[in-house]
Amino acid sequence: MSILVWVVFVAMIVAQIMVVIKMFQNAGVVHGILGLICGLYAYIWGWMNASKLNIRNLMIIWTVLIILFAILAGTTGAMNFDYGVGPNVTTP
């Protein structure tokens, strides 16, 4: 199930990159760099300019992916990574 979480996560990153490309094209380099650094900024900017740039469907898809990711990650515990670092709590 955690593979599905990763697939949704990658799809969210792709959606962000698509919005950032629009940011570079229409708002300039500074906004594009801010969109790369801060996904929330790109998300808000995308919704603010969705109808003007005709990216409404992309923003709807990105929103659904965010909600789906939150549900899947929360229910599967996919973000609880154990890399074997720290104390071993499974003592006999």
Do 22 and 48 touch, CB atoms closer than 8 A?
Answer: no
pLDDT in tens, 36-61: 999 999 999 999 999 999 999 999 99
Q: Is the pLDDT of residue 89 over 70?
A: no
- Please report, for the chain, the start and end positions of each structural domain, with discontinuous segments joined by +: 2-11+28-76
Q: 64 exposed, middle or buried (CB, 10 Å; 0-12, 13-18, 19+)?
A: middle
Mean pLDDT of 78-92: 57
Q: What is the pLDDT of residue 86?
A: 56
pTM of the complete model: 0.78
